[in-house]
Amino acid sequence: MNRMLTVAEMTLRELLRRRGVLALMLLLPLTFYLIRRDAYVGQSVRSLMLGISWAVSTAALFATSAARELEPRLRLAGYGPRHLYLGRMLGLWAAGLAIALPFFLLVVFDAPNLRYGGVAAGMLCCVAIAPPLGMLIGALLPRELEGTLLLLVIVTVQMLIDPAGTGAKLTPFWSSREITTWAVDHTDGGYLARGSVHGVLVTVGMVLAVAAVFSVRLRRRRHLRHLPVG
């Protein structure tokens, strides 16, 4: 547990020291929120969710790429794969919450008559899914440019796809859209239920996928046999 928490702490420290990155991580959702603010506020809140998802998953992607050279030597220093990917994910989840909190307060004070619990739940889905999504892309695509472009494709599809269509359910952040629709349009509880189930399933699926990829990438190679000193 100490090893996992140490990795989480160092992930947070690295991120907090990149002030330019932090500013852009806040600017991205803010832009998404303000760009349509003069029209229907519900659409602004839905866009905000996408902005948070994009910002946090991009941070996760770059954190994973930056750690690519460091992780094998940490593995040799006594870390297991799970310490590394869960620790990094914990740190990114904490960073995601810190990013989302001011936007939740912004919505509370700026947009009246919403189901704020639903807004919070939608943001939680974004924050839960974005780190493993970014880490998965970062682990599968070793170069940052390819990873960034793939993330752009995913977010664009998420933004443009018909949310009522079947294909939308395959996009990672469909849950937050459903829950946010329940929160801003005061639709029936089916939206909340569907969104919640989707959010939990996608989060668990993403974490398991990250676990699988990291376990393979940081596996103990079969040609190497360790014997105790004795």
Q: Residue 166 is encoded by which pair of tokens? A: 């079947």
Query: Of the listed pieces 52-60, 149-157, 198-206, 215-223, which binds other proteins according to CB under 8 A?
Result: 215-223
Q: Which of 74, 99, 126, 139 binds other proteins (CB under 8 A)?
A: 74
- Asked if 144 touches other proteins (CB under 8 A), the answer is no
Q: To the nearest whole angstrom, how small is the minimum distance from the Cβ of residue 2 to other proteins?
A: 6
Q: To the nearest whole angstrom, how small is the minimum distance from the Cβ of residue 21 to other proteins?
A: 10
Single out the residue of 104, 103, 96 nearest to residue 128, CA to CA: 96
- Asked if 143 touches other proteins (CB under 8 A), the answer is no
CB atoms near residue 138 (< 10 Å)? 29
Within 13 Å of residue 83, how many CA atoms lie on the same side as its CB?
19
| φ, ψ at 159 (rounded to 5°) | -75, -35
- Distance from C-alpha of 58 to C-alpha of 164, rounded to nearest angstrom: 26
- Distance from C-alpha of 136 to C-alpha of 139, rounded to nearest angstrom: 5
Q: Which residue, 164 or 222, has its beta carbon nearer to other proteins?
A: 222
Q: Residue 139 is encoded by which pair of tokens? A: 């682990």
Helix or strand (DSSP H, E) at 66: helix 41-66
Q: To the nearest whole angstrom, how small is the minimum distance from the Cβ of residue 20 to other proteins?
A: 12
- Distance from C-alpha of 48 to C-alpha of 136, rounded to nearest angstrom: 23
Q: To the nearest whole angstrom, how small is the minimum distance from the Cβ of residue 74 to other proteins?
A: 6
| Start-to-end C-alpha separation, the chain | 28
- Asked if 36 touches other proteins (CB under 8 A), the answer is no
- Asked if 67 touches other proteins (CB under 8 A), the answer is yes
Q: To the nearest whole angstrom, how small is the minimum distance from the Cβ of residue 24 to other proteins?
A: 15
Q: To the nearest whole angstrom, how small is the minimum distance from the Cβ of residue 117 to other proteins?
A: 36
- Distance from C-alpha of 59 to C-alpha of 134, rounded to nearest angstrom: 7
* Amino acid identity for residue 204 in this structure: V
- Asked if 22 touches other proteins (CB under 8 A), the answer is no
Q: Which of 32, 79, 104, 214 binds other proteins (CB under 8 A)?
A: 79
Q: To the nearest whole angstrom, how small is the minimum distance from the Cβ of residue 208 to other proteins?
A: 24
Total binding residues toward other proteins, as defined by CB under 8 A: 32
Q: Which residue, 50 or 92, has its beta carbon nearer to other proteins?
A: 92
Sign of the alpha-carbon torsion through 37, 42, 43, 48: positive
- Asked if 6 touches other proteins (CB under 8 A), the answer is yes
Site residues (CB under 8 A) for other proteins? 2-3, 6-7, 10, 13-15, 17-18, 66-67, 69-70, 72-74, 76-79, 83, 220-229
